[in-house]
Amino acid sequence: MGPPQPHEPQLHNGEQQRGLLGPRGLIDRVEYIRVLEQALRMLGYEEVAAALEAASGVEQQPPVAAAFRSAVLAGEYDAALRLLPAVAADGRVADRARFLLLRAKYIELMEAGATAAALQVLRSELQPLHVQQQVLHSLAALLLRSPAAASNGSASPDSAGAAGSTSTARVEQLAKARAALLEELQDSLLPSLLIPERRLEELVEQALLAQLESCAYFNSRATHLSLFTDFQVGAEQLPTQPGQVLEEHSSEVWSIAFSRDGLWAASASKDGSAVLWSVTPSGRFESPRVLLKQPVPCQLVAFSPDSSLLLAASMDCSVRLHDVATGKQLRQFLVADPDAGAAASAAAGGGAGLGAAAGAAAAAGSAGSAAAGAAAGSTVMALSWFPDSRRFLVATHRGLAVFDAQQAGSAPLRRLPCAHSYVYDALVGPGGGCIISVGQDKRIALTRLSDLRVEVIPESGPVTSIHLSPCGRFLTANLSDSLVHVWQLPDGLVRSAGAAGGTFAAAAALPHAPPAANGAAGGGSALAGGSARDPFDALPTAPAHELRMAGAKPSRYVLRSCVGGAASGFVAGGAEDCRLYIWSRRTGELLECLGCHSGCINATAWHPTNPWLLASASDDGTIRTWLAPAALRP
């Protein structure tokens, strides 16, 4: 039996002409009325919606669609399964919807303590769907861990919809879960039958977001968007006005970073110092504290995601951990490459090993150079935290390793396979599920931690540094020829972050799909629209934008750009021409080119909570802050 034919909503009062509305004739009249009826009901105006139905002769949705929606929201899953063939888009996606309904039924029974009934659903209803064995095992494990399992619970509720406690909290929890299920089912249903929830609100928000996206200078934390006028702002939103000139360092400043809560800033310098500032709500850097002062350069600083800890890497092969609130050094980690041999042993023992490394680093010259520190095999090239604020990644030229912030010493928790023969930079990817690294081989490599799968994105030249946007969706890559590439990462990369329960893992739970028409494998699931695709199979093949620094020449140094501002809407970066560049991340357009430093700008950092504040660090030994003119208004 093939899928049912799509049902059209009934038109009463003899109306058969759908008609088009709007100044451009793009809006289907019947669909417009149906969406209005839905919006009125969502606002609580049932009588007004009914009156509109009667006057227009257009019903919001057919009775079968209304019954299906009501059954899902009431937890009457058997009724919803009976109605499914009449509302499913086709037979292929009906299997996906059937799995989602049965999974919800199973979970609600389990949470209600009806373990016998839940087990029956698992064996008699879920298993025949040809669900992957690992998914069945995961569901069975949930049952074994349920509190009712210990007492051999055999509660038999009148229906799956009656599962759970009658307490207010439980009722609200069920309502939210069922509403989320209905949203998840939407991709499998005919939209002409069952209108997506809150469709008018979604359309209006899409229009407002499109206005923001089309405005090159949108950079505000709290923006009131009116339905009566189009949104417009100007360059006063960008941090282009010079603020403070900070001169706590006596030599080149190589790194600048803000804490995620925006209350702190830290910097690292060739003079061997790491400095911590408090940052006021107005954007002023105050109360500088020198956390570290070494005879060898300090090249990197990195705040933990919870803003309580700070890492500082020096060219003596060490990483020091500091408490942000007190400034106290908590631990020191000695870093050695896995093949460093005797050098690693010396570093582990301290003393002479540190001195030798320091001498090699000093002889290497400026650590800003992409080749600096090559003589010291354990020179730290990158620091990056995992989301738990406990583990952190350290990259050296020869390898990647994960350390535990609560365990001092030289032994990492885990050494990771390295996709490059010579590493320049690395960071923890979105959600902590992968490592993104670059090296001398003109490639951006992504290594998934759950299965150590490695995929590479070819680049046009050596990439000396990378930066991940706060939202985790955009990656900037600084190339040695003074170009910055902006890469848009697949949406599923955050949600699939190497853990069961992510988007791809959830997709793998669905029944096996038949072979595709071209003979390729169906991808292991029946998820419609290809949304089950592994994000590692959807990596970009070309950058979204290539940003050029006007008049800049190929760089001899490691320059670090950043993505920031409202909605990660901008890219900021410096060059050897001593200028600070600001581009639109959305369009790649160069918006501002600011001259103020007297030396190469090595690093930039955008404040995470105040989009009107930007900081730049330079070879002239200063850190400069930049404020938006809008922030300076009384």
What is 105-142 written as a DSSP string? Answer: HHHHHHHTT-HHHHHHHIIIIIGGGT--HHHHHHHHHH
Residue 621 has pLDDT above 60, yes or no: yes
Average pLDDT in the 91-108 region? Answer: 89
Quote the CA–CA distance of 625 and 87 in Å, as a whole number.
Answer: 58
Q: Tens of pLDDT along 214-224?
A: 889 999 877 78
Quote the CA–CA distance of 435 and 528 in Å, as a whole number.
Answer: 29
Residue 497 has pLDDT above 70, yes or no: no
Instruction: Report whether 438 contacts 444 (CB < 8 A).
Output: yes
Q: Residue 192: how many CB atoms within 10 A of its CB?
A: 17
In sequence order, the β-bridge partners of residue 21 are: 27
Q: Tens of pLDDT along 285-298?
A: 999 999 999 999 99
Instruction: Report whether 189 contacts 88 (CB < 8 A).
Output: yes
- Give the pLDDT of residue 141: 85
Buried b (16+ CB within 10 A) or exposed e, 90-102: eebbbbbbbbbbb
Instruction: Report whether 577 contacts 599 (CB < 8 A).
Output: no
Band the pLDDT of 166: cuts 50, 70, 90.
low
In whole angstroms, how large is the CA radius of gyration of the chain? 29
Tokens 């939103």, residue located: 237
Residue 281 has pLDDT above 70, yes or no: yes
- Kindly state the tokens that stand for 72: 């899902």
H helices then E strands: how many in the chain?
A: 13, 30
Quote the CA–CA distance of 634 and 631 in Å, as a whole number.
Answer: 8
Where does 366-480 show beta strands of DSSP type E? Answer: 380-385, 391-396, 399-404, 414-416, 423-428, 434-439, 443-448, 454-458, 463-468, 474-479
- Give the pLDDT of residue 95: 87
Mean pLDDT of the chain: 82
Q: How far is CA 195 from CA 15, 69, 254, 379, 453, in A?
A: 21, 10, 54, 58, 39
Give me the long-range contacts of 358-361 (CB less than 8 A, separation at least 24).
358/295, 358/296, 358/315, 358/316, 361/296, 361/297, 361/315, 361/316
Residue 5, classed as helix, strand or coil, is: coil
Residue 357, classed as helix, strand or coil, is: helix
- Give the pLDDT of residue 5: 46
Band the pLDDT of 634: cuts 50, 70, 90.
low
Quote the CA–CA distance of 377 and 461 in Å, as a whole number.
Answer: 23
Q: Residue 634: how many CB atoms within 10 A of its CB?
A: 2
Total count of residues recorded for the chain = 634
- Give the pLDDT of residue 540: 95
Residue 4 has pLDDT above 60, yes or no: no
Instruction: Lowest mean pLDDT of 190-204, 350-364, 435-449, name the range.
Output: 350-364
- Give the pLDDT of residue 147: 60
Phi then psi for residue 31, to 5 deg, are -65, -40
Band the pLDDT of 53: cuts 50, 70, 90.
very high
Residue 579 has pLDDT above 90, yes or no: yes
Residue 500 has pLDDT above 80, yes or no: no
- Give the pLDDT of residue 148: 55
Q: How far is CA 205 from CA 198, 233, 568, in A?
A: 11, 19, 18
Average pLDDT in the 91-102 region? Answer: 87
Residue 559 has pLDDT above 80, yes or no: yes
In three state form, how does the secondary structure of 233-250 look?
CCHHHCCCEEEEEECCCC
Band the pLDDT of 10: cuts 50, 70, 90.
low
Quote the CA–CA distance of 338 and 292 in Å, as a whole number.
Answer: 27
Residue 529 has pLDDT above 80, yes or no: no
Average pLDDT in the 464-469 region? Answer: 97
- Give the pLDDT of residue 511: 40
DSSP character at residue 449 = T
DSSP character at residue 366 = -
Residue 516 has pLDDT above 50, yes or no: no
DSSP 307-348: SSEEEEEETTTEEEEEETTT--EEEEEE---TT-THHHHHHH
Instruction: Report whether 564 contacts 608 (CB < 8 A).
Output: yes
Instruction: Lowest mean pLDDT of 102-111, 163-172, 258-267, 345-354, name the range.
Output: 345-354
Average pLDDT in the 553-572 region? Answer: 90
Q: Tens of pLDDT along 362-383?
A: 333 333 433 333 334 478 999 9
Sheet of strand 423-428: strand arrangement: 423-428, 434-439, 443-448, 454-458
Quote the CA–CA distance of 399 and 421 in Å, as a whole number.
Answer: 9
- Give the pLDDT of residue 460: 92
Q: How far is CA 261 from CA 310, 385, 472, in A?
A: 13, 15, 17
Q: Tens of pLDDT along 222-270?
A: 778 889 999 888 999 999 999 999 999 999 999 999 999 999 999 999 9
